[in-house]
Amino acid sequence: SQQGEEDPQALSIQEGENATMNCSYKTSINNLQWYRQNSGRGLVHLILIRSNEREKHSGRLRVTLDTSKKSSSLLITASRAADTASYFCATDAADDKIIFGKGTRLHILP
């Protein structure tokens, strides 16, 4: 079973534009993590945001968390061709699992 659900499932934007991906989840969490995965490769950790945080930045990445709505967003500014990948949110609750969504496939058009 998967707790996080990313939206949209797929997104194509022009290089230089901003990309926004959303994640909704169902139960209370300790933290939420975002990952990137290039085709056929491993998951790269992007950002971890804790349940008591509302916003976090890392370079061109901005993550928000709204625990009242059980949702998070990942914003990539000034997109580049190298940002083409699948992006996953992963929720870390009080049990012993980190649960992933199905991902958003982002395609940056030249």
Pick from 8, 52, 4, 7: nearest CA to 27: 4
Could you please report the per-residue DSSP string of 54-77? SEEEETTEEEEEETTTTEEEEEE-
* Count of residues interacting with another protein (CB under 8 A): 25
Q: Is 30 in the site for another protein (CB under 8 A)?
A: yes
x-or-dash string of contact with another protein, 40-59, rule CB under 8 A: xxxxxx--x-----------
Binding positions for another protein, rule: CB under 8 A: 2, 4, 30-31, 33, 35, 40-45, 48, 88, 90, 92, 95-103
